[in-house]
């Protein structure tokens, strides 16, 4: 990519003095993309710890056979809410926070196209998070029987049978869905209409491309999820029988609807990360991104494939042989565009002049561990072998390699990469490196044993297990606690930067960084591009 600017914004943020509310009102009413981005990212970080504490309680219970800390009902609530919190309240808001901060900076726009919508998009999140977790609190006061206990997948008829936690989760998912839709609409509109003069679609930074595909996937699939959970709500309370065989319905219909959303959701979580990866790799390899067009086409191909492979999530539910074969081969086909991305990432590093600051470490860690997720995903696509892997800890390990190593470590890459731009301060490189190595080692300590647990036959979502699974579970629990505690370093590093500690960051915080965002001061002025840059 050969973006370069002719104008550099020299105005520091002098424009905002005086006529903006301060304190809490500032944050409630802000329409500034950076404020909203900050709120999204802070919310995501808080919910990351909330979801993390839940799963540490689960891992503690699974440390040894027998029930020590909790009853199965509570265990089932924790695993489901952990997943919902991590997916909808941590990873998705983090990605939206990136989009809010970076897209206007990267395309040379003064702000997002629809700033008030943007404010709404964020402020829907906290009520949704409260709805999701409130049943835990209500249960303490003797109201209801706790949060949703069906796992994050809401499978009917278990969810029809469940308590008020299911209703709370249904409403929370609706609100989170509306928030994502609003965010997506804003991002699409911003990218289509607000690019600086000269920035054609094929000069658009890859991060924006990744998010553009994500936004379209969200718009296409969230309504289906909303429809599915609405049907669930009417089945529960208004006498419909969408998912009840006795009334002419079909429980598997729910799985089709859910995974029509659920599979693209994986790419919704990952595409923003795949988008930011080339920026980080190019920066620290001091070399242009390899295969820009290939990556753009790869994103588009994955976006399209992602909506036609959903049924591989329930091969064991039984379906006609042609359907099994179709979903198997179409799933395998995803490996091809994904291989394009891997190829481009490694080719970007090839013959560069690499240095390994924290973002680069996380990027490399991401590529290797996400590689394991991709390769195990390939074998999971095989219907025959899937009969053994499915519903077992093998799958749990696989999707944590995809969503922790792929999603969350990708987000961490972005945070370390852009933190100097956002806060104007350099984070502590020493702490960052400690954070990286502890995260990578303890992540593998946690999840590698789970592959073997799955192969040996341990089903997922069980609160207690047979004796032959004891050792691997104990190792996994030890790993998970180190992993959880290491994240405090991450939070501390961010907080220190936000408090203005650490060395001041230059406009171009990294030696090899290219792109419009590095032309602005660190932190950027209140209105990002008052004078629009030109892209040659």
Partner 1 sequence: MVDQFTDDELARRRAAGRRLAWALGAAVLALYVIGFFIQR
Partner 2 sequence: MKRLAAPALALGALQPAAAFADYQWNFPKPVTPIARDTLNIHNEFMLVITVLFVVVFAIMIYSMVKHRKSVGHEPAKFSGPTGKLQWFWVLVPFGMLLFIDFVLMGIPAFHAVIEMEDTKTRADMVIKVTGLQWKWQYEYPDDGIKFMSNMTTPPEQIANQGAKGEHYLLEVDNPLVLPVGKKVRVLLTATDVIHTWWVPQFGVKRDAIPGFIRETWVKIEEPGTYRGQCAELCGKGHGFMPVVVKALPEAEYAAWRDAKKTELAQAAAGAERAWSKDELMAQGKEVYAKQCAVCHQPEGQGLPPAFPALAGSKIVTGPLLSKDGKLLPDSHVDRVLNGKPGTAMQAFKGTLNDVELAAVITYERNALGNAKGDMIQPAQIKLLR
- 284 dihedral zone (left: phi>0; alpha: psi -120 to 50; beta): alpha
Q: Which of 253, 300, 332, 474 binds partner 1 (CB under 8 A)?
A: 253
Q: Is residue 220 at the binding interface for partner 1, with CB under 8 A as the rule?
A: yes
Instruction: Give the range of 182-190, 268-276, 346-354, 481-489 binding partner 1 by CB under 8 A.
Output: 182-190
Nearest by Cα to 286 from 353, 361, 194, 187: 353
Q: DSSP characters for 228-246?
A: HHHHHHHHHHS---SS-GG
Q: Does 170 bind partner 1 (CB under 8 A)?
A: no
Selected range binding partner 1 among 22-30, 96-104, 217-225, 483-491, rule: CB under 8 A? 217-225
Residue among 368 and 503 whose Cβ is closer to partner 2: 368
Q: How far is the CB of 223 from partner 1 (least distance, A)?
A: 4
245 lines the binding site for partner 2 (CB under 8 A):
yes
Q: Is 185 in the site for partner 1 (CB under 8 A)?
A: yes
Q: Any contact of residue 433 with partner 2 (CB under 8 A)?
A: no
Using the contact rule CB under 8 A, the part of the chain among 160-168, 185-193, 339-347, 481-489 near partner 1 is: 185-193
> What, of partner 2, partner 1, none, does residue 507 touch, CB below 5 to 8 Å by kind?
none
349 binds, among partner 1, partner 2, none (CB under 5 to 8 A by kind): partner 2
Question: How near is the Cβ of 463 to partner 1 at its closest, in Å?
Answer: 35
By CB under 8 A, residue 216 contacts partner 2: no
Any contact of residue 18 with partner 1 (CB under 8 A)?
A: no
Q: How far is the CB of 269 from partner 1 (least distance, A)?
A: 20
Contact present, 401 and 375 (Cβ < 8 Å) = no
Take residue 378 and report the two structure tokens written for it: 């390939």
- Is residue 348 within 8 A of residue 276, CB to CB? The reply is no
Interaction between residue 227 and partner 1 (CB under 8 A): yes
The C-alpha atoms of residue 185 and residue 191 are separated, in whole angstroms, by 10
Residues 1-30, interacting with partner 2 (CB under 8 A) = 1
Task: Return the residue of 161, 223, 304, 500 that touches partner 2, per CB under 8 A.
Answer: 161
CA 274 to chain centre: 11
Q: State which of residues 58, 194, 369, 412 lies at the interface with partner 1 (CB under 8 A).
A: 194
What gap in Å lies between CA 53 and CA 82, rounded to an integer? 9
CB of 64 to partner 1, least distance (A): 46
Reply yes or no: is the peptide bond before residue 157 cis, omega within 30 of 0: yes
Report, in Å, the least distance between residue 92 CB and partner 1: 16
Residues numbered 265-324 forming contacts with partner 1, rule: CB under 8 A: none
Residue 392, classed as helix, strand or coil, is strand
412 vs 362: CA distance, rounded Å? 7
* Region for residue 151 given its phi and psi (left: phi exceeds 0; alpha: psi -120 to 50; beta: otherwise): left
Q: Is 141 in the site for partner 2 (CB under 8 A)?
A: no
**DSSP SS3 for 504:** strand
**Which SS3 state, helix, strand or coil, does residue 162 take?**
coil
Residue 375 binds partner 2 (CB under 8 A): yes
Q: Which residue reads 């029987």 in tokens?
A: 145
Q: Quick check: 115 binds partner 1 (CB under 8 A)?
A: no
Binding range to partner 1, per CB under 8 A, among 57-65, 202-210, 226-234, 481-489: 226-234
Told to check if 367 binds partner 2 by CB under 8 A, we report: yes
Burial 353-373 (b: 16+ CB within 10 A, else e): eeeebbbbbbbbbbbebbbbb
Considering only 166, 173, 231, 513, the residue that binds partner 1 (CB under 8 A) is: 231
Q: Which does 368 bind (CB under 5 to 8 A by kind): partner 2, partner 1, none?
A: partner 2
- Could you say whether residue 425 binds partner 2 (CB under 8 A)? no
Find the binder of partner 2 among 317, 495, 503, 531 (CB under 8 A): 317
Tokens of 528: 């990002």
Q: Which of 198, 230, 250, 448 binds partner 2 (CB under 8 A)?
A: 250
531 near partner 1 (CB under 8 A): yes
Q: In whole angstroms, what is the distance from residue 148 CA to residue 153 CA?
A: 10
Q: How far is the CB of 299 from partner 2 (least distance, A)?
A: 16
Residue 206 neighbours by CB under 8 Å, 6+ apart = 275, 276, 278, 279, 289, 292, 295, 296
Question: Is 224:261 a contact under the CB 8 Å cutoff?
Answer: yes
Q: Does the protein bind partner 2 through residue 149 (CB under 8 A)?
A: yes
Which 116-145 positions form the footprint of partner 1 (CB under 8 A)?
Answer: 117
Q: How far apart are CA 425 and CA 383, in angstroms?
A: 50
289 is an interface residue for partner 2 by CB under 8 A: yes
Rg (CA), the chain: 23
User: Using the 8-state DSSP alphabet, how is residue 506 labeled?
Assistant: P
Residue 459 pairs in a beta bridge with 392
Q: Which is nearer to partner 2, 42 or 240 (CB)?
A: 240
Q: Residues 486-515: x/- map of binding to partner 2 (CB under 8 A)? A: x-----------------------------
- Measured from the CB of residue 21, what is the shortest distance to partner 1 in angstroms? 24
From the list 155, 341, 350, the residue with the least C-alpha distance to 253 is 155
Q: Name the 3-class secondary structure at 459.
A: strand
Report the interface residues with partner 1, using CB under 8 A: 113-114, 117, 181, 184-186, 188-190, 192-194, 197-198, 219-220, 222-224, 226-227, 230-231, 250, 253, 531-532, 534
């Amino acid at each position: 990519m050969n973006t370069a600017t002719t104008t550099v914004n020299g105005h520091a943020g002098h424009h905002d003095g005086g006529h903006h509310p301060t304190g809490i009102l500032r944050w409630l009413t802000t329409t500034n993309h950076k404020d909203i981005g900050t709120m999204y990212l802070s919310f995501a970080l808080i919910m990351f710890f909330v979801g993390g504490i839940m799963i540490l309680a689960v891992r503690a219970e699974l440390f040894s056979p027998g029930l020590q800390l909790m009853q199965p009902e509570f265990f089932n609530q924790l695993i489901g809410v952990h997943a919902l919190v991590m997916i909808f309240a941590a990873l998705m808001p983090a990605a939206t926070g990136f989009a809010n901060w970076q897209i206007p900076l990267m395309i040379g726009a003064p702000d997002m196209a629809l700033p008030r919508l943007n404010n709404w998009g964020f402020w829907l999140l906290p009520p949704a998070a409260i709805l999701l977790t409130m049943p835990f609190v209500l249960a303490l006061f003797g109201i209801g029987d706790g949060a949703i206990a069906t796992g994050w997948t809401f499978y009917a008829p278990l969810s029809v049978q469940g308590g008020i936690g299911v209703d709370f989760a249904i409403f929370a998912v609706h609100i989170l869905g509306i928030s994502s839709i609003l965010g997506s609409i804003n991002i699409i509109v911003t990218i289509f209409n607000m690019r600086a003069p000269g920035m054609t679609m094929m000069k658009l930074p890859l991060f924006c491309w990744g998010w553009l595909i994500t936004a379209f996937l969200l718009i296409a699939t969230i309504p289906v999820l909303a429809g599915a959970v609405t049907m669930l709500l009417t089945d529960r309370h208004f006498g419909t029988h969408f998912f009840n065989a006795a009334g002419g319905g079909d429980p598997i219909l729910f799985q089709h609807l859910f995974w029509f959303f659920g599979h693209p959701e994986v790419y919704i979580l990952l595409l923003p990360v795949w988008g930011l990866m080339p920026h980080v790799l190019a920066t620290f390899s001091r070399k242009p991104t390899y295969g820009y067009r290939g990556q753009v086409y790869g994103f588009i191909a994955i976006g399209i494939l992602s909506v036609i492979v959903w049924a591989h999530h329930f091969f064991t539910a039984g379906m006609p042989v042609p359907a099994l074969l179709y979903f198997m081969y179409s799933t395998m086909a995803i490996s091809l565009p994904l291989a394009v991305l891997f190829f481009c990432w490694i080719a970007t590093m090839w013959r560069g002049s690499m240095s390994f600051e924290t973002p680069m470490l996380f990027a490399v860690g991401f590529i290797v561990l996400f590689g394991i997720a991709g390769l195990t995903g390939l074998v999971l696509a095989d219907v025959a072998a899937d009969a053994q892997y499915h519903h077992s800890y093998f799958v749990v390990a696989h999707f944590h390699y995809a969503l922790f190593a792929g999603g969350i470590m990708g987000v961490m890459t972005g945070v370390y990469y852009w933190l100097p731009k956002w806060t104007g301060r350099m984070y502590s490189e020493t702490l960052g490196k400690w954070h990286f190595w502890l995260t990578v080692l303890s992540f593998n300590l946690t999840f590698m044993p789970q592959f073997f647990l799955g192969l040996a036959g341990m089903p997922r979502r069980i609160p207690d297990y047979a004796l032959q699974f004891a050792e691997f579970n104990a190792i996994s629990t030890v790993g998970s606690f180190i992993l959880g505690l290491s994240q405090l370093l991450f939070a501390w590093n961010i907080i220190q930067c936000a408090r203005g500690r650490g060395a001041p960051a230059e406009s171009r915080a990294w030696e090899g960084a290219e792109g419009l965002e590095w032309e602005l001061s660190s932190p950027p002025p209140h209105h990002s591009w008052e004078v629009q840059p030109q892209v040659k």
